[in-house]
A and B are shown apart, each in its own frame.
Chain A
Amino acid sequence: NAGVMQNPRHLVRRRGQEARLRCSPMKGHSHVYWYRQLPEEGLKFMVYLQKENIIDESGMPKERFSAEFPKEGPSILRIQQVVRGDSAAYFCASSPAVQGATRGEQFFGPGTRLTVL
């Protein structure tokens, strides 16, 4: 049973370009979470999605950032017009429905390290 998969693992963008980060949850998991980790810091919650629904995006910047989790395919975190301050590691986590989500058991992917030049 494959774990949470994220791609690409490393992404380099120039200022003003768009970054698309993909996350495939564990098989059978319908809840996806995105976290951002700045250098030397812990993870900060960004957004929580279920299939086709954004449940909580309170941790996501209001501009340039968007996330989706379509009925088919991976979850996408999209950053438009990237700036240097967006350079960070972006982690996706998933959990099974109901009990897993409420207990807080989340399984993390390896992360995408975004570097903005």
Chain B
Amino acid sequence: SQQGEEDPQALSIQEGENATMNCSYKTSINNLQWYRQNSGRGLVHLILIRSNEREKHSGRLRVTLDTSKKSSSLLITASRAADTASYFCATKKYSDDYKLSFGAGTTVTVRA
């Protein structure tokens, strides 16, 4: 079964607005990662947050992690047309040494 579930499935915003998407998961994790996938392309690693961290920033990205609620959020501030892509969360469980479990993704469209 899928470990991560993203919400919403799709998001459309105006350039300059912020985009927020959420990820919920089911079991304890070692870390949670966010990836971006442009249409028809491979995955680009955005940010990794460990289970003992609550918030992390990278440029215009802000990730939070709430292990008590088993959820994470990704915020993209001041969005640009180039941010149009699908965003996936992926979790690595304690019991697994290596597997990443992906959600179905959030498709973000940034309108110019």
Contacts and interface: CB of A to CB of B under 8 A. Distances in A.
Given A103-B31, A104-B31, A48 B98 contact: yes
B45 interface: yes
A40 B88 CA distance: 12
Contacts of A59: 99
Measured as residues with beta carbon below 8 angstroms from the partner, the interface class of chain B is: 20 to 34
A91 to B, nearest CB: 6
Main SS at interface, chain B: strand
A108 B101 contact: no
Interface of B: 2, 4, 30-31, 33, 35, 40-45, 48, 88, 90, 92, 97-105
Interface of A: 31, 33, 35, 40-45, 48, 55-56, 59, 91, 93, 95, 101-111, 113
